[in-house]
A and B are shown apart, each in its own frame.
Chain A
Amino acid sequence: GQSLEQPSEVTAVEGAIVQINCTYQTSGFYGLSWYQQHDGGAPTFLSYNGLDGLEETGRFSSFLSRSDSYGYLLLQELQMKDSASYFCAVSVGGDYKLSFGAGTTVTVRA
């Protein structure tokens, strides 16, 4: 099976930078994805890393190190609307199914 570890909670102030780490143990690893979920609503896709390195999408960046089985999501210039749960997920095997971590609740304070 797969196991993923990410912190359960992070709190930061508006304008700050937050890094959410994700470590994983799995076989047949294809890539690492990140999803955002507000208040139990539909999770939304943020990013995918299939190769080592940094992927940047606006204020959010994601990093992967396959040799370390580690990745992170970087949230910059935090805004109140970034308060949400963030899930890392590993893609295993060739049929694109994802295994999710337990999620990190990010709280942004004024």
Chain B
Amino acid sequence: NAGVTQTPKFRVLKTGQSMTLLCAQDMNHEYMYWYRQDPGMGLRLIHYSVGEGTTAKGEVPDGYNVSRLKKQNFLLGLESAAPSQTSVYFCASSPIGQGAGYTFGSGTRLTVV
């Protein structure tokens, strides 16, 4: 099983450009999440989804949009990239159940110049 796959793995954007990060999971998980990780700050939740067609805001949603049109895919969009969005982005999925644990993708390293 592939688990959680993120594309692309690396990207450099110019300020003001837009892009979409794709997350795909093949475990039939209901829940999906987008986090960003910055040095010394752990992982912060951007947006999440509790099922196909649903999305909700996390801790740091400004400047990002998401969509979950299919259960296995969760897209993160940056409409107008800013240097403050330089970060490593992780997608995760989980089944229903508090103790189930997240499965994370390998991350997308984004630099905005």
Which among B35, B90, B94 is the interface contact of A96 at CB below 8 angstroms? Answer: B94
Residues on B with C-beta less than 8 A from A35 are 102
**Of the candidates A45, A95, A100, A103, which one forms a contact with B101 in the assembled complex, judged by CB atoms under 8 Å apart?**
A45
> Complex formed: what's the CA distance from A100 to B105 in Å?
16
A97 near B48 with CB under 8 A, answer yes
Q: Which residue of A lies closest to B6 (CB)?
A: A42
Q: A50-B99, A100-B42 are in contact. Are A40 and B90 (CB under 8 A)?
A: no
**B43 engages A31 (CB within 8 Å):** no
**Closest A residue by C-beta to B99:** A48
Chain A: minimal CB distance from B90 (Å) = 7
Residues of A within 8 A of B69 (CB): none
Q: Tell me the chain B residues, 34-60 only, with Cβ under 8 Å from chain A.
A: 35, 37, 40-45, 48, 50, 56, 58-59
Q: How many Å lie between the Cα of A41 and that of B100 in the bound state?
A: 20
Please tell me the size bucket of the interface on A: 20 to 34
Q: Mark B26-39, 1 if CB is under 8 A from A, else 0.
A: 00000101010100
Residues of A within 8 A of B41 (CB): 102
Per the CB 8 Å criterion, the residue count for chain B at the interface is: 32
Contacts of A103 in B (CB 8 A): 42
A-B pairs, 3 with minimum CB distance: A45-B101, A48-B99, A100-B42
29 contacts between A and B (CB under 8 A): A1-B59, A8-B40, A30-B98, A40-B37, A41-B106, A41-B107, A42-B90, A42-B106, A43-B43, A44-B104, A45-B102, A48-B98, A48-B100, A87-B42, A87-B43, A89-B43, A95-B56, A96-B94, A96-B96, A96-B100, A97-B48, A97-B58, A98-B33, A99-B45, A99-B59, A100-B35, A100-B42, A100-B43, A103-B42
11 additional A-B pairs beyond A48-B99, A50-B98, beta carbons within 8 Å, are A1-B59, A31-B98, A41-B106, A42-B90, A43-B92, A43-B102, A45-B102, A95-B31, A98-B33, A98-B45, A99-B59
